[in-house]
Amino acid sequence: MCMPSKDQCKMIVLIDQLLSLISSPLITLTVLISRDSVSSTPSWPTSGKALWTMPLPWQGKLERFIGEESVAAGESCILSDDPTWIIDPIDGTTNFVHAFPFVAVSIGFSINKQVEFGVVYSCLEDKMFTARRGKGAFCNGEALQVSEQADIHQAIVATEFGSSRDPAAMDHIFRSLRNILCLPVHGVRGAGTAAINMCLVASGCVEAYYEIGIHVWDVAAGSLIVSEAGGVLMDVEGGDMDLMSRRIVAANNRTIAERIVKEIVSFTLQRDDAPLQS
């Protein structure tokens, strides 16, 4: 029997600590809802905020964090070669507010700008998706494998409308959706969370997921889970996916991915790693 290394044991303990810190506040989370805003703003208890300053069980440079909360606090969102945690403590806040049953904790860990492991915990489903580079992807310990479907007309495609209500952006989004629906595909779905949409691709439940407007903390963990389940990742204009570009196509195979890319009416948003506005 192969036993985990000392460092792997430390990693497992740390992930458990992170999930405990994040999951506990979900139960008592106070959500401030504004009628004039699409997004709901979570007000974190002290235990949730402690995530960003918790001590790590390593010595050295393993101290970098990227996440919505750290960026909102004015920290830069630069993916460097340093070991970095990329965390979304609640992916699907609006879902959480309305008890729509898809809410996820997303934790990615990168070294040299490459995600080395990813964890997505679908809280209300109690499903733990995990992946380690070169070691496969799993859900509650069961190996994941993407769908073998290669016919776009038999494919289910996941997407989201995003939180922006800028008319120009919405026009691009609806044109893309119309193009894909009229291929036709078998159906279009959306869980309301990028992390879970990507896990649905990895699980073989949907053939593809695309979106413009997501952030690195939404997709870092899920991107590795998809690729380790046998899927492919692309930019919405083709070529390799760029984690900081805020655009993604994740699919079960290259044939489906390239067909989706042809139908997307792309537009450019400010990158996650753009310089902070003074």
> pLDDT digit string (tens) for 264-273?
999 989 999 9
Q: Is 93 a catalytic residue?
A: yes
Q: Is 273 a catalytic residue?
A: no
> pLDDT digit string (tens) for 125-153?
989 999 999 999 999 999 999 999 999 99
233 SS3 class: strand
- The pLDDT value given to residue 36: 45
Q: Does residue 237 have a known ligand-binding role?
A: no
Q: Domain coordinates of the chain in residue numbers?
A: 6-143, 152-263
Question: Which position among 91, 228, 263, 272 bears the catalytic label?
Answer: 91
CATH fold for domain 152-263: D-Maltodextrin-Binding Protein; domain 2 (3.40.190)
Q: Is 91 a catalytic residue?
A: yes
CA 55, 246, 97, 37 torsion-angle sign: positive
Q: Does residue 68 have a known ligand-binding role?
A: yes
Q: Is 235 a catalytic residue?
A: no
pLDDT (average), residues 157-175: 94
CA 131, 137, 141, 147 torsion-angle sign: positive
Spatial contact of 241 and 261, defined as CB atoms under 8 Å apart: no
- The pLDDT value given to residue 64: 86
- The pLDDT value given to residue 173: 97
Amino acid at residue number 101 = P
Q: Does residue 151 have a known ligand-binding role?
A: no
DSSP state letters, 82-117: S-EEEEEEEE-HHHHHTT-S--EEEEEEEETTEEEE
Express as a percent the part of the chain with pLDDT over 70. 77
Q: Is 218 a catalytic residue?
A: yes
- The pLDDT value given to residue 4: 47
Between 277 and 226, name the one with better pLDDT.
226
User: Residue 21 above 90 pLDDT?
Assistant: no
- The pLDDT value given to residue 35: 39
- The pLDDT value given to residue 24: 53
Give the pLDDT band (50/70/90) at residue 22.
Answer: low
Q: Is 88 a catalytic residue?
A: yes
- The pLDDT value given to residue 52: 43
Q: Does residue 27 have a known ligand-binding role?
A: no
Average pLDDT, the chain: 84
> pLDDT digit string (tens) for 75-104?
789 899 999 999 998 899 899 888 899 999
Q: Does residue 90 have a known ligand-binding role?
A: yes
Which CATH number describes the domain made up of 6-143? Answer: 3.30.540.10
Question: Could you tell me what percentage of the chain is helix, strand and coil, using 3-state DSSP and rounding each to the nearest 5?
Answer: 35, 25, 45
